[in-house]
Chains A and B, each alone.
Chain A
Amino acid sequence: DAGVIQSPRHEVTEMGQEVTLRCKPISGHNSLFWYRQTMMRGLELLIYFNNNVPIDDSGMPEDRFSAKMPNASFSTLKIQPSEPRDSAVYFCASRGGSPPYEQYFGPGTRLTVT
Chain B
Amino acid sequence: AQKVTQAQTEISVVEKEDVTLDCVYETRDTTYYLFWYKQPPSGELVFLIRRNSFDEQNEISGRYSWNFQKSTSSFNFTITASQVVDSAVYFCALSEAWGGSEKLVFGKGTKLTVNP
- Which of A's residues lie within 8 Å of B, judged by CB? 31, 33, 42-43, 45, 48, 50, 55-56, 89, 91, 93, 95, 99-108, 110
- Identify B102's interface contact among A48, A104, A107, A110, CB under 8 A: A48
CB-based contact B45/A100 at 8 Å:
no
Set of chain A residues within 8 Å of B13, measured between Cβ atoms: none
CB-based contact A100/B44 at 8 Å:
no
CB-based contact B44/A99 at 8 Å:
no
CB-based contact B45/A48 at 8 Å:
no
- Which of B's residues lie within 8 Å of A, judged by CB? 33, 35, 37, 43-47, 50, 91, 95-97, 100, 102-109
- Identify A42's interface contact among B33, B43, B97, B109, CB under 8 A: B109
Given the complex of chains A and B, what is the CA–CA distance between A103 and B97 in angstroms?
14
CB-based contact A95/B102 at 8 Å:
yes
CB-based contact B97/A56 at 8 Å:
no
Set of chain B residues within 8 Å of A99, measured between Cβ atoms: 95, 97, 100, 102
CB-based contact B106/A102 at 8 Å:
no
CB-based contact B106/A42 at 8 Å:
yes
CB-based contact B45/A45 at 8 Å:
no
Given contacts A42-B108, A43-B106, A48-B103, contact A100 B33 (CB under 8 A): yes
**CB nearest neighbor in B for A99:** B102
Given the complex of chains A and B, what is the CA–CA distance between A48 and B37 in angstroms?
19
Interface pairs (29), CB distance under 8 Å: A31-B102, A42-B106, A42-B107, A43-B109, A45-B103, A45-B104, A48-B103, A50-B102, A55-B102, A91-B45, A93-B45, A95-B102, A99-B95, A99-B97, A99-B100, A100-B95, A100-B96, A100-B97, A100-B102, A100-B104, A102-B35, A102-B47, A103-B47, A103-B104, A104-B47, A105-B37, A105-B44, A107-B44, A108-B45
Set of chain A residues within 8 Å of B97, measured between Cβ atoms: 99-100
Smallest beta-carbon distance B8→chain A, Å = 14
Given the complex of chains A and B, what is the CA–CA distance between A93 and B33 in angstroms?
17
Smallest beta-carbon distance A106→chain B, Å = 8
Given the complex of chains A and B, what is the CA–CA distance between A73 and B111 in angstroms?
34
Smallest beta-carbon distance A87→chain B, Å = 15
Set of chain A residues within 8 Å of B47, measured between Cβ atoms: 102-105
